[in-house]
Amino acid sequence: MASDPVPEYKEIESVYGLEGAPAATHRLQRLAAAFRKQFGADPELFARAPGRVNLIGEHIDYEGYGVLPMALRLDTVVAIRRGGDRLVVANLDAEKFPVVEYGTDPAQAVDTAHHVWANYFLAAYKGVYDFLASKGADPPAPVGLQVMVHGVVPLAGGLSSSAAIVCSSALAVMAVRGVHPTKGEVADFTCKAERYVGVTSGGMDQAISVMGQPGVAKLVEFNPVRAEDVHLPPGATFVIANSLTVSKKQETADRRYNLRVVECRLAAALIARKLGAPPAAAAAVRTLREVEPAVAEKFGPGLKGKLRAVDELLERGNYLQDKIEADLGVPLSELFAGEPSPLRVVGVVAGEGFKLRDRAAHVYSEADRVYKFRAAAEDESSGAEALPRLGALMDASHASCARLYECSCPELDTLVGVAKAAGAIGSRLTGAGWGGCTVSLVRHGDVGPFMAALRENYYSPLLASGRVTEGGMGEVLFASPPSSGAAVLRIKLAPSEGEEGAAVEAPARERKREPVMA
Ligand code: GLA
């Protein structure tokens, strides 16, 4: 439940299970050893947060609608200790992710124009202070922090590597300062915090990273954020396949992710205006969900009414800035005043125009599919029909993402086609899209032949050209059961065998506990 505290575990099995414990222990030992080498002392604790796969409900969280993801086993772990007078953020993979240092002032800006990997840590750090301020607590005086990160969620792959690092960093910072938040609080503030890196994302990724549980997918809803268990039918396996086309959300935001958020907001404002709201009231509308009551009143309830409204109130094709401003009666500079991300989008694409009708049609129909998916998954009377019903909804979701939302890409479409031909009951892109992964619903007994067919029909040229290696295939094509959400780990680790230099104790002054602040 959202009101439950974020768990703190002393045993590694609590997160990774008996089976996963040896590999996880080895990984934490490596992380601790690298930490000692970098900082000359043991970490005080670890925090971990998983990536996710979204089963259905794409690009609708920021419009206020429920989504249906599950947490993956793949996660990011952060080791942390108080010390020094800077924020020093290191990574176990030091070659790819060099050490970054920041001052400790939580008010410092995140430099979005020069994005570096550790900005996600800084965003989380700022978010912790925002959260404490929002609770009216006296924020703790900043102290230096030493941090070592290790992530295994594929980057820019649609599996929420960014939420995994933001959530694990936030938990680490809070735990080391004696703050004990609820899951709902963390889901809420980390979502806002991640926007410091410049992507105006919704709250799905952080919510499932924090509230995920083994064995169940979750219906995540917002305002306030909450999650309900969704039991998947027996025999259903979800296989994740990476298209190996990278889509960096942060770097492409102005023309992709943030542009879609802007288009939805403009569609909602125009619908409100056309339904009689005065210009200022229409301009204050932020989501398509907000205009639902007015739409239902004029066009009738349910999806049918919404699609009729979209059809009648919004024009096909691209809206240029002048046209939107004339129809709305408000300049876009005023509509987005004080919001740097949307203003940047307007600056970059206003000349080409915004597509509103198709985007709104996707949002309304995808939101409807989420509830149909949950109903089909949990309908025990549906028997053999359950999986085909889920599959059909996933296929429809992909078609809508590709045609109406235009967030697919040729490689994802090919991969979905290959998956369907290989016997997937349903297959779709997952996450923000424009690259990254697909998720396919496959009968448990068919997983082996299914993966073999994908290998043959999608990956063999990529293997031949070296884009992926045999050894790397396990990270590119895999099935993952619904797994644990984020947690703080206070685990006693024996130094890893053959580690150079024994564990170094931190000076006594730095090891004393801070007062508990929340
Ligand atoms: C990204 C965002 C999420 C969500 C998805 C698309 O993962 O972070 O909030 O909008 O894209 O469904």
In the chain the domains, ranked by start, together with CATH numbers, are: 257-355 (1.20.1440.340)
Nearest CA to ligand 1 atom 11: 432
Ligand 1 pocket, mutate which of 68, 200, 204, 362 (most atoms under 8 A from CB) = 204
pLDDT digits (tens, 9 = 90+) for 414-445: 999 999 999 999 999 999 999 999 999 999 99
Is any atom of ligand 1 closer than 6 Å to the C-beta of 185?
A: no
Which atom in ligand 1 lies closest to the alpha carbon of residue 257? Answer: 11
Q: What is the spatial distance between Cα 169 and Cα 190, in angstroms, rounded to a whole number?
A: 10
Among protein residues, the one whose CA lies closest to atom 9 of ligand 1: 202
* Closest residue by CA, ligand 1 atom 8: 201
- List the end-to-end C-alpha distance of the chain, in Å, as a whole number: 19
* Closest-lying ligand 1 atom to the alpha carbon of residue 57: 12
User: CA-CA distance, 121 to 501, in Å (whole number)?
Assistant: 28
Q: Give DSSP secondary structure letters for 303-340.
A: HHHHHHHHHHHS-SSEEPHHHHHHHHTS-HHHHTTT-H
CA 50 remoteness from chain centre: 10
Cα(445) to centroid(ligand 1), Å: 31
Q: How many residues does the chain have?
A: 518
Q: State which ligand 1 atom lies nearest to the alpha carbon of 407.
A: 6
Residues in Cβ contact with 450 at an 8 Å cutoff, skipping those fewer than 6 apart: 239, 419, 422, 423, 424, 440, 442
Q: What pLDDT is stored for residue 380 in this prediction?
A: 83
Q: Are 425 and 442 in contact (CB under 8 A)?
A: yes
User: What pLDDT does 192 receive?
Assistant: 95
Distance CA 223, CA 326 (A): 32
Is 194 touching ligand 1 by the criterion CB < 6 Å? no
pLDDT for res 498: 61
Summarize pLDDT for 296-355 with one digit per residue, the tens: 999 999 999 999 999 999 999 999 999 999 999 999 999 999 999 999 999 999 889 999
pTM recorded for the entire structure: 0.94
pLDDT tens for the chain, 518 residues long, are 889 999 999 999 999 999 999 999 999 999 999 999 999 999 999 999 999 999 999 999 999 999 999 999 999 999 999 999 999 999 999 999 999 999 999 999 999 888 899 999 999 999 999 999 999 878 889 999 999 999 999 988 899 999 999 999 999 999 999 999 999 999 999 999 999 998 889 999 999 999 999 999 999 999 999 999 999 998 999 999 999 999 887 888 999 999 999 999 999 999 999 999 999 999 999 999 999 999 999 999 999 999 999 999 999 999 999 999 999 999 999 999 999 999 999 999 988 999 999 999 999 999 999 999 999 999 888 777 899 999 999 999 999 999 999 999 999 999 999 999 999 999 999 999 999 999 999 999 999 999 999 999 999 999 999 999 999 999 999 999 999 999 999 998 876 666 643 343 333 333 333 332 32
Residues catalogued as catalytic = 205
**Ligand 1 nearest atom to the CA of residue 204, by list position:** 9
Question: Is residue 201 lining ligand 1, measured as CB closer than 6 Å?
Answer: yes
Quick check: CB of 429 below 6 Å from ligand 1? no
Give the separation between CA 480 and CA 446, rounded to whole angstroms.
Answer: 15
